[in-house]
Structure 1
């Protein structure tokens, strides 16, 4: 399905983090809808390098791009030498998805370098090429503020959210580049499995249920609510952002907060499973967002964005992927 009147055929597009969750979905969206588009994926790809919390530094995985036929450049956005490989291309659009997106990372220097400093380099590339920059911001900029969350009212509770807020401030200051920031809320959907522990709870709960385990919910989960958004709607927002004529920052969610318990209830219904729930203490209380809800009216008004998937519809669409991952990847 095409989400814009822009004809991307004959355009050259860069997707950083293109072997990751959202980046790979973007790459395949363009490939499937525009046979003559040139898509360049730039990704570090995963190795065994780990962060201070034990999680992998990079989640980029070749299996996310098994159907991709475009060009791939292996590189780290922190490396000037690797970024120099992009000088062979003149891009029309840059979709910047690469980042350290793990909210539990404590290494502030590494997060700021990867998320903010590398963004400066890519903005310079956009300026040279005359490219439009669409980049991933985050609902994490709102921290523990009560919802609905509105652009202009931010209080990040971790360095990841702070780095994204600084990216937003930087983007607004650009005079020669149209830079559109999309504050993703809780995204779920196909191609997220290789995010491991940072994959959405939709996938994690689904795999727990298929494994015959009791779904493990944090204590008080019926009161913990998030704005869960299916990845297809995130792709829609990215494509709609290409039509923006000026820089801006926008929330990308459904505008509706749902509980983690509701996720399990819907999964049980779709999978035909009856089970008891197990409740465990929340180890991330101090940096945890207990409620998120995106104010998406400016996104609707200015980008023409309208979420197409409710939580029920999104999980139903995600079930084939969850089942396939369980059969192919879970031991």
Structure 2
């Protein structure tokens, strides 16, 4: 039987933590370990956690789970707090967990089924129902908000989620489960990356990811979200194209360099094609980072880069082409 760990990170999460904890403890397939890493909460998050855990033997007799609570005297921040929690997990499979969501009863069971079918699967993530602060459905799902396309889903189903992840992130940590081997290779998590997208691209570079189309989590959207999701309308997307780029392309190139360096350091654990594609993405983003501050002078270099096909393979296609042609430079420096 596969041992399952849950990595739950908290910070001032008293308003929602009890509901989330109960949803974990009421899973049809129980985890064997729960690691809770609190990042210096100043409310009564830890007291509420203790209350729920104390009730476990009475409310769920016969169900047991190993509990490990880590308390940070000095806050680490979201990414490093998750890294700490994940490294403390000892399960073969590790599920990420936000403090303010609610898991559906089959959240663990549905993901584990994919790992059992195929040893090459390193990552499983799902859709989620978006809910408001009170837990009422907003009316659409996470995948709708992310605008996941049929073409992207086809790539994932063909075993090549890396192709999608080299263009943009699809994986929301609150819905994700990884093999522990991924965590070992991904740590330490580098600063330019968010933990879930970093874990996802490492997982897809050593194996493959799979998607569960069912909504397995109620993903809460509220003002205190440290990481959330929203679907931009047409005006929002136009505004994003026209906003100052402020060094965005240079930042993307720096992230790509970090990825290439890590994949190189992992040697034979990484698929050769993954390493080659990451290097080509880096070449592409370095080209984009060198575009002139003057929009008119970007036209020919952008068209030359379009001709290589790399905008389609490693950026967001037409949207990023328009960005590179139209965005003012803002406060970026050469």
Q: TM-score, structure 1 length as denominator?
A: 0.27
Give the number of the structure whose residues are more often helix, by fraction.
2
The structure that has the greater radius of gyration is: 2
Q: TM-score, structure 2 length as denominator?
A: 0.27
